[in-house]
Amino acid sequence: MDHQRSAPDQRATAPFAQPPLDGGSSSLWFDPPLGDQDRRHQLTRQRVVTEALAVIAHDGIQALTMRHLATRLGVVPGALYHHVRNKQQLQDLLLDNVLAEINLQLDATLDWTDQLTLLAHRLRQVLEAHPGVAGILKTRDPLGPHSLALAEAFLQPLQAAGFTNHHAGLAFFLLIDYTVGFAVSTSATSVNEQRLRDPATRAQLHQFFRSLPPDRFPALVALGHHIWIDNRDQRFSTGLGVLIAGLQHPPNSPTNTARQP
């Protein structure tokens, strides 16, 4: 994990171009919600997003419906549509709200590999502080200001390191897919991870593997207690290190060595 003292979060404050979203409609990032001027119920877009994050953290991503959210906010479901057009836009808004927490400031004197390592750890840390959000990120392609700033932060070290445009694009998605995928597949709140953190349960698992027939499962008998252990942080760091080391030495083939536009 990133043990350095965190610098103040870098914020995307400059205006961005308006990418078309949802079939060419104007971007939700730059159009004010229709109901922000109506304070009769003190309902704002930010309050909707904050409550949506609370629903996910408390009840899980499957509980995030417009009807459930409206009930928690004490309004009729139709009131939400003054602030977000649909559930997909709500997801994009809450994703950008979460990604805003990532510290994107980096020491330019660090090697590009160290910069990417720091960013990946910071991304994972923020995603895991909001259980369920990583799962949404796997299904959405947010284009909000903080999502764009995160992509820029990952791409700059790759450009500076001399990656071709093609390889920089591949490396970017390898890093993002690995980090987000790890946060989704091995969430700290998952049943498996909680089981591994319990010493008594872990000891029972190890005993079970040692009791397996060695003629049928020789590898599990020997290695089971090395696999089912409480080493989640180490697994992430090791995998990330292997990935970045691979980026330093890409496969040597005509396709990979040819300069891409």
pTM of the shown model: 0.74
Q: Which residues contact 232 (CB under 8 A, 6 or more apart)?
A: 186, 188, 193, 196
More confident residue, 157 or 229: 157
pLDDT tens, residue by residue, 78-132? 899 889 888 889 999 999 999 999 999 999 899 999 999 999 999 999 998 888 8
CA Rg, the chain, in Å?
22
Contact 45, 52 (CB under 8 A): no
pLDDT tens, residue by residue, 180-218? 999 987 655 566 666 777 788 888 888 888 999 999 999
Per-residue pLDDT band at 29 (split at 50, 70, 90): low
Q: Which of 82, 51, 81, 84 is nearest to 68 (CA)?
A: 51
Burial classification of residue 31, based on how many CB atoms lie within 10 Å of its CB (0-12 exposed, 13-18 middle, 19 or more buried):
exposed
pLDDT at residue 40 in the model:
44
pLDDT at residue 259 in the model:
41
Q: What is the DSSP string of 34-78?
A: TTTT--TT---HHHHHHHHHHHHHHH-GGG--HHHHHHHHTS-HH
Report percent pLDDT > 70 for the chain. 76
Helices 45-59 and 66-73, packing angle to 10 deg: 110
Distance CA 145, CA 248 (A): 30
- For 145, the token pair is 């200001």
Mean per-residue pLDDT of the chain: 80
